Amino acid sequence: SPTSSTSRGFFERRGYSSLVPNSVFNISCTGKRSVVWEEPLPANTFVLPGYYTATLFIYNATVENTGYYMCVYETPEDEVESEPEEENEAGIYVFVPDPKAPFVPETPDNLVVPMDMTGVPISCRVSDPFSDVILRSVPSGEEMPAYYDNKMGFFRNLSPGQYQCETTVNGQTVRSVVYTVKVEGKLRQT
């Protein structure tokens, strides 16, 4: 399977890297055949391909660069993948801590979450891996105990309503955008 390694402007720990904001860094991926970094990639990146390797450069790292980067074996369009999925990829999660942006900017399609009885993802991810985050109901402010993963957000069985994530930066409480959990309408047969 492909492997990845990193250098400059970060420290690696517990399966992720944490970068210094505005730094330049690179992540190299090497395999037994041609490898590529999965698209889409942020605008401030550049990939340098090599012989069975691909190096991803990120310039002027910002909170928007926080996330997963996956390297996969290149599969020619006329070839069918023969290996199991997990052996075809290597990945790394990158944090770019920014006290001015403790939560990673959210995409609009993640702000409305369909209710599901098995659990609902509230995808408020943090830029600093050491942030303590709590989930609150809006407008009551009631704390909602829930499982939190700093790379994914909260996951819990939630009722329809509005929720917000909260963390503390330098003694100041900071809140995320508001997430709305909605019951999806049922289709009627005519």
3-95 and 108-182, same CATH topology: yes
- The answer to whether the beta carbons of residues 125 and 103 sit under 8 Å apart is yes
Give the CATH number of domain 108-182: 2.60.40.10
3-95 fold: Immunoglobulin-like (2.60.40)
Is 90 exceeded by the pLDDT of residue 112?
yes
Output the CA–CA distances (angstroms, integers) from residue 12 to 23, 61, 101, in the order listed. Answer: 15, 16, 21
Distance separating alpha carbons of residues 68 and 123, to the nearest angstrom:
14
pLDDT in tens, 21-61: 888 989 999 999 999 999 999 999 999 999 999 999 999 99
Radius of gyration of the chain (CA): 19
Break the chain into its structural domains and give their ranges: 3-95, 108-182
The reported pTM is 0.81
Closest CA to 30 of 6, 9, 11, 12: 6
